[in-house]
Structure 1
Amino acid sequence: MANATNVVPQAGQVARSQREQLLGQRGRVIWFTGLSGSGKSTLAYALEARLHAAGRHCVVLDGDNLRHGLCADLGFSPADRHENLRRAAQVARLFAESGTICLAAFISPMRADREMVRQIVGPQDLYEVYLDCPLEACEARDVKQLYQRARAGAIADFTGVSAPYEPPLAPQLVLATQSQSIEECLQLLVELSAG
């Protein structure tokens, strides 16, 4: 994509620190990554409910939901996945700058794309959470039957089947969602979101 040469960023009159003071929290992005079926959306929405109940302002950016709107024009080629994550990272950054705790649930299979997300959001605001769940367990939970369809050849470029997943090398948190309960994971996530 070409960068526009006639666009100049505009500064507002309300500083990020003022927004955070108003909300009584620091904005950040908790980025959930892992295979389809590893529990990204489940944990993101459960954490949203837990934080909301505690009086925290938060929002979930879910990969499937963004593909119905903001990213509806994108497929699943490597270039389209990259653009999908670029857009998501830009939105997540805006939420963090508004003082919101943004919970972003995206497979985001490639390390280079996750590094791009880190650069867009800002390393000080991004908390990467890797949902470490074996492929077999993800397939066993496959309520959408995506793995079955991918193995039958009906879905091309499906992560874990016909497209690679590169686990993070140094995430802030690793959750073994096959063996840890949702409650155990949530406790660790609440601690991370308070840091």
Structure 2
Amino acid sequence: MQRFNGTITGTERARMFRQKPVTVWLTGLSGAGKSTIAYELERRLISLGHACYVLDGDNVRHGLASDLGFSREDRHENIRRVAHVAQLMNDAGLIVITALISPMHEDRAMAREIIGSDRFVETYLAASVDDCARRDPKGLYAKARSGVIGSFTGVSAPYEAPAHPELRVETASQSKEESVAGIFEYLLEGFLDRS
């Protein structure tokens, strides 16, 4: 199938939005702070006039991925779909912030390939299983440890931490504000118009 290209260039969109399109791919265990940090970063960017959107893993599963479960194959397909949506939103000139566990290295590598390395900022929200279980905002670790939830990342399913992410955010020891500030500073250096 032939791809059709519009007449508006990426440079024109970047000038209009005062930003370079980028996908900040937040990855980490359940409870590491992905959604919290994603929405706080979105709020900060929007308050400064930047066009952005959060693709939250839980929300995506209500529509785009509502037909998928949590098997290895379904998780792979979920990541593939989200990456394609992020790529389209980047083409529109937007900053995209994804909040997905995305536990496997090969799936994150696939997302990078789909989106493009120059637009993909792998951001590892580093917090141990014990730190996340202490927070347990949804009560999921307790259910996973008691066997109510099967194939739960970090308990009964693997999580492959990024070896060389663009950003590593220590959410176990940093406040929400500190975590967001670190990501924002990274974006300011390479993707945001300072004017």
Look up the match of 2:22: 28
Once structures 1 and 2 are overlaid, which stretch shifts more, 32-41 or 146-155? 146-155
Separation of aligned partners in 1, 2:147 and 2:58: 21
| Unmatched runs of 5 consecutive residues or more in structure 1 | 1-6
Deviations 1:90-123 (A, max 9, x none): 0011111111110011000000000000000000
Residue 67 of structure 1, CA deviation: 0.4
Look up the match of 1:154: 148
Separation of aligned partners in 2, 1:69 and 1:193: 29
Specify which of 82, 85, 95 is matched with residue 91 of structure 1.
85
Q: Residues 40-51 of structure 1: matches in 2 within 5 Å? A: 40-51=34-45
Q: Residues 39-188 of structure 1: matches in 2 within 5 Å? A: 39-188=33-182
| Unmatched runs of 5 consecutive residues or more in structure 2 | 191-195
Residue 8 of structure 1, CA deviation: 2.1
Look up the match of 1:4: none
Residue 28 of structure 1, CA deviation: 0.4
Deviations 1:35-92 (A, max 9, x none): 0000000000000001111111110000000001100000000000000000000001
Residue 10 of structure 1, CA deviation: 1.5
Separation of aligned partners in 1, 2:15 and 2:88: 17
Separation of aligned partners in 2, 1:178 and 1:97: 34
Separation of aligned partners in 1, 2:137 and 2:35: 13
Residue 18 of structure 1, CA deviation: 1.4
Residue 143 of structure 1, CA deviation: 1.7
Separation of aligned partners in 1, 2:66 and 2:136: 23
Say whether the 8 Å CA contact 1:30–1:193 is kept in structure 2: no
SS state at 2:174 partner: coil
Residue 147 of structure 1, CA deviation: 1.0
Q: Give the aligned residue type for 1:67.
A: R
Separation of aligned partners in 1, 2:144 and 2:86: 29
**TM-score normalised by length of structure 1:** 0.94
Q: CA RMSD in A?
A: 0.9
Separation of aligned partners in 2, 1:167 and 1:184: 21
Separation of aligned partners in 2, 1:76 and 1:35: 14
Separation of aligned partners in 2, 1:8 and 1:77: 33
Separation of aligned partners in 1, 2:48 and 2:18: 12
Q: Give the aligned residue type for 1:165.
A: Y
**TM-score normalised by length of structure 2:** 0.94
Separation of aligned partners in 2, 1:182 and 1:72: 30
SS state at 2:117 partner: coil
Q: Give the aligned residue type for 1:40.
A: K
